[in-house]
Amino acid sequence: MAVAFALAVGVVGVALAGLLLNGRAGAAIRVGGIATAAVAATLLGFLVPDIQVLTITAYLMTLAVPAVIVAALTTRLVRFAKPGNGRAAGVWGIAVGAAVLVTLLFWLSYIARDAEPVGYRPLVVFGSLAIGAGWAAVLVRLLRHHRGRCQSCGRPGAPWTTPASAASWGRVLTWSAALCPLPYVVTRLSWLTPWPIGESAETLAAHPGLRIFGLALAVAGEGGTWLTLGLIRPRGEVFPRSLPFLGGRPVPLRAAVIPGLIVSLMMCIAGHSLVQQAFGAGTDLSDHLLVLLMPFPLWGPLLAAATLAYWYRRRPECRACVPATTERRADG
């Protein structure tokens, strides 16, 4: 069904694109293009995918947690070496490589022993997400064109999009988004206790590797908090000097904005999936509490807003619209 809808919308989109590129499309054609892009982006990018997009992504990120810890500890040791010491850099590289290899072997053995097959569903949800994201990008361009805004940066925007205003409201929303992972972290840390939340004690006893995996998930959740707060901290603009190779260099704007928006979209998708699971037929109070323990419906929009504030605060002058604005001022 989703594939057929994607093909149908694609055909309509190509036809509308031809009319819009003609340059003589009327208001009805422009509104039709906006409506088509909005429907396609909502259905394919939001409603068709489910919580699996976030689950798989989070698990893949969790696989790297041990290697990241070893790399961080090794970096701390290398900092005591003299600057430009090639031997220290070599030790760092060997340690990180060994950590990655050991981590890969450990998780591969765990997956081969305890993981269940997932089938082809991930291909469907990730493919739909990618197509929906593409339609969302088209929608943004169409809205900018319809409103007479710059196609590259969207200027001129509303007063709340100015850097000073974004810095003000963005700080509040960023802190709110950074606190959202805490309930999830608590649930995963509980797997190390006799009172696990979200998993039975019998299952954890039968599969001890799940306890380690739960600890890695908790560390990954805290890593999300750390990264989110980076949107309002100096490390979000300049890489910390403790980082090898990147330390002291400016953080590329899109390197923070694109992952932030993608993750926030995954959170929103997980949010509607979780609400359906928690309040569907045959559920009880314990299922309802999942929304509180994993606050994805709130987490996703807050992270998206925090990321947009970061974008509005840091975006540079636009080469496409600033010269035109300067020329109009000169003519005036």
Q: What are phi and psi of 85, to 5 degrees?
A: -75, 110
Does residue 79 lie within any of the structural domains? no
Phi, psi of 196 (to 5 degrees): -70, 150
Would 116 be classed as within a structural domain? no
- Domain membership of residue 139 (yes or no) is no
Hey, which of 6-20, 117-131, 278-292 has the most confident mean pLDDT? 117-131
**pLDDT value of position 324:** 47
Length of the chain measured in residues: 332
Task: Give the separation between CA 94 and CA 83, rounded to whole angstroms.
Answer: 18
- How far apart CA 179 and CA 168 sit, in angstroms, is 18
Instruction: Give 18's contacts (C-beta < 8 A, 6+ positions apart).
Output: none
Query: Which one of 12-26, 205-219, 318-332 scores highest in mean pLDDT?
Result: 205-219
In which band, very low, low, confident or very high, does the pLDDT at 332 lie, cut at 50, 70 and 90? very low
220 is a domain residue = yes
Higher pLDDT, 189 or 199: 189
Q: Once rounded to an integer, what is the mean pLDDT over residues 217-235?
A: 87
Which class for 190: exposed (0-12), middle (13-18), buried (19 or more C-beta within 10 A)? middle
CA distance 19 to 7: 19
Angle, helix 86-114 to helix 65-78, in steps of 10 degrees = 170
Using pLDDT thresholds of 50, 70 and 90, give the confidence band for residue 153: confident
- 146: nearest Cα among 60, 246, 25, 63: 25
Range picked from 15-24, 104-113, 242-251, 282-291 for highest mean pLDDT: 242-251
Residue 239 lies in a domain: yes
The answer to which of 24-28, 37-41, 85-89, 195-199 has the lowest mean pLDDT is 85-89
Q: Does the structure show a pLDDT above 80 at 18?
A: no
- Higher-pLDDT residue of 141 and 73 is 141
Q: Tokens in use for 133? A: 């994201």
- Split at pLDDT 50, 70, 90, the class of 228 is very high
Residue 240's pLDDT band, with cuts at 50, 70 and 90, is confident
Residue 11 has pLDDT above 80, yes or no: no
What's the mean per-residue pLDDT of the chain?
75
Helix axes 209-229, 65-78, angle to 10 degrees: 60
Structural domains in the chain (count) = 1
Can you tell me the distance from the alpha carbon of 224 to that of 29, in angstroms, rounded to the nearest whole number? Answer: 42
The residue range of the domain holding 180 is: 159-317
DSSP H helices, 279-321, are 285-288, 290-293, 296-314
Is cis: bond before 297, omega within 30 of 0?
Answer: no
Mean pLDDT of 176-183: 90
Mean pLDDT confidence for 114-121: 59
Residue 101 has pLDDT above 50, yes or no: yes
pLDDT tens digits for 42-72? 888 888 888 888 877 877 776 666 666 666 6
Of 159, 199, 127, 150, whose CA–CA distance to 328 is shortest? 150
What is the pLDDT averaged over residues 122-130? 81
Residue 303 predicted with pLDDT over 90 = yes
Amino acid at 13: G
CA of residue 135 relative to chain centroid, distance: 17
So what's the pLDDT on residue 3? 57
The least confident of 252-261, 271-280, 306-315, 317-326 is 317-326
- Considering only residues 116 and 152, tell me which one the structure prediction assigns the higher pLDDT: 152
Task: Look at 120-134, 193-207, 312-326 and tell me which has the smallest mean pLDDT.
Answer: 312-326
Q: Could you tell me the pTM of the whole model?
A: 0.75
Other CB atoms within 10 Å distance of the CB of residue 320: 11
Judge whether 240 lies within some domain: yes
Residue 172 confidence (pLDDT) above 90? yes
Provide the CB-side half-sphere exposure for 233 (13 A, CA): 11
Query: Does 191 map to a domain?
Result: yes
> Under the phi-then-psi rule, with left for phi > 0, alpha for psi from -120 to 50, and beta for the rest, what region is 275?
alpha
Look at residue 169 and tell me if it is in a domain. Answer: yes
